Chains A and B, each alone.
Chain A
């Protein structure tokens, strides 16, 4: 199980996956908006999405878990 974490504080702008999606390392899984800038969050490892822990519009802090991969 691996967790995809937020690289910085921001608001969740877009989530490009749902539980069951298979992602490759480097895929953009979430886009955050911080200080009017879009910050793509990539999966470092590949896997199947088992859980999405955030919703669009939610404010996240640095290092918060955004989603879980298996």
Chain B
């Protein structure tokens, strides 16, 4: 049965985005907020709002006991975790289930399995999905890692199984560096993820990062919503995304989406998910990881398919069947997203502070998802995302032109933003030609000196 009240366990733009989806479905919303977010847009938009703790996330947005208590007190039947914070926390998903609340996402067991990268690699490999050549189990603590790595060939990446998003990852180019890198990564993994498992993968040089949006219902129906290209990154974090990917032709799209559908069937997935892949220079693709949640960049898929992904998440969590068959899902035109961060466009260092002036762009084909307003404080406690600008065009060129225009009109004062970096990328001839890889931001940074 459809929910009448949903608690949104997040803040900022994604909390606002989820509240909008609930409003469209006629569902009441409950916001939670920390002391740093009193009066924030997501609090103002919700039907009801509860303070959950002091500014640091581990005392507020990650405070599971308090959030569950608020869910019960407010009469919510379901919890939407958004992305980040508790979104990929299997313990939280389990706790919701135990407390009689619906967690809007996949089952806790799927989140747990996909959160351990070694386990995810093993499952994907067993399902016949190509994975980056590497170790199929955790590296034993006392064995010499060199023989395996020599089989793979240097350079390799030493990775923490519990890691992700670039955290707990080291490039090793020579045999001499290997033992130390394994030891350090193990220590970091223990400290950061509570588990010392590490593994190695061959380093795919100058890859493109392409991901497939997938959706499944509890009856085992599965569809994909095409791919997104996410190669414009800094510090392994995405900055600009586009859909479709300029690197993916019809044949590759068929192989990529078929592999993604196969992968999520193999793990019994339910709800929205993303299969992230690396694309080598020779158009070979490898499974990288599975994100068991709503992605930051989901809006570009919405722009080309016309599908509201968050509404669909809620319907599937309420037990409905997938609202579309694969044949009913079509992609039209091209979409680009720029993540506008409060950060220095040259050093990428955060730029906290109060936003003293704020005016969003508005034009045909332009969407701005934001949780920010004039007077908003960009604090050190949370990520630096001010807003996401999404543009759609009949073709790639129009989408990019609309983006450049929109970003130039976006007025933000009081903090530094990375809009100059976005404009540099959008005007780069190789970006314009669609011929770029994950090294593009570093290359443009160097060319500016």
Contact = CB atoms under 8 A, between A and B. Distances in A.
A2 interface: no
Interface size class, chain B: 10 to 19
A35 B378 contact: yes
8 contacts: A8-B380, A10-B350, A33-B380, A34-B350, A35-B342, A36-B383, A37-B235, A37-B384
B384 A39 contact: no
Contacts of A36: 382-384
Interface string B391-409: 0000000000000000000
Contacts of B378: 35
A8 B349 CA distance: 9
Given A8-B349, A9-B352, A11-B380, 13 more contacts: A11-B56, A11-B381, A33-B380, A34-B350, A34-B352, A35-B380, A35-B382, A36-B382, A36-B384, A37-B384, A39-B349, A57-B56, A59-B380
Contacts of B342: 35
Contacts of A10: 350, 380
Nearest to A9: B380
A55 B342 CA distance: 26
B435 to A, nearest CB: 29
Contacts of A39: 349-350
A57 B381 CA distance: 11
Interface string B361-380: 00000000000000000111
Interface string A12-45: 0000000000000000000001111101000000
User: Across chains A and B, which 6 residue pairs bring their CB atoms closest together, nearest first?
Assistant: A35-B350, A35-B384, A36-B383, A34-B380, A34-B350, A10-B380
Given A10-B380, A11-B381, A59-B380, A37 B350 contact: yes
B343 interface: yes
Contacts, number: 38
Contacts of B382: 35-36
Contacts of B349: 8, 37, 39
A19 B352 CA distance: 31
Nearest to B350: A35
A1 to B, nearest CB: 28
B101 to A, nearest CB: 27
Contacts of B379: 35
Among A8, A10, A34, A59, the most chain B Cβ lie within 10 Å of the Cβ of A34
Interface of B: 56, 235, 342-343, 348-350, 352, 378-384
A35 B382 CA distance: 5
A35 B384 CA distance: 5
Contacts of B384: 35-37
Nearest to B58: A57
A52 to B, nearest CB: 18
A6 B443 CA distance: 29
Contacts of A8: 349-350, 352, 380
Nearest to A60: B380
Contacts of A57: 56
A52 B289 CA distance: 39
Contacts of B352: 8-9, 34-35
A35 B343 contact: yes
B377 to A, nearest CB: 12
Nearest to A57: B56
Contacts of B56: 11, 57, 59
A68 to B, nearest CB: 23
Among B348, B381, B383, the most chain A Cβ lie within 10 Å of the Cβ of B381
A12 B378 CA distance: 18
A70 to B, nearest CB: 28
A10 B382 CA distance: 10
A34 B378 CA distance: 11
A59 B352 CA distance: 14
A37 B385 CA distance: 12
A10 B343 CA distance: 14
Nearest to A36: B383
A37 B382 CA distance: 9
Contacts of A35: 342-343, 350, 352, 378-380, 382-384
A60 to B, nearest CB: 9
Contacts of A59: 56, 380
A11 B381 CA distance: 8
Nearest to A37: B350
Contacts of B383: 35-36
Among B56, B342, B349, the most chain A Cβ lie within 10 Å of the Cβ of B349
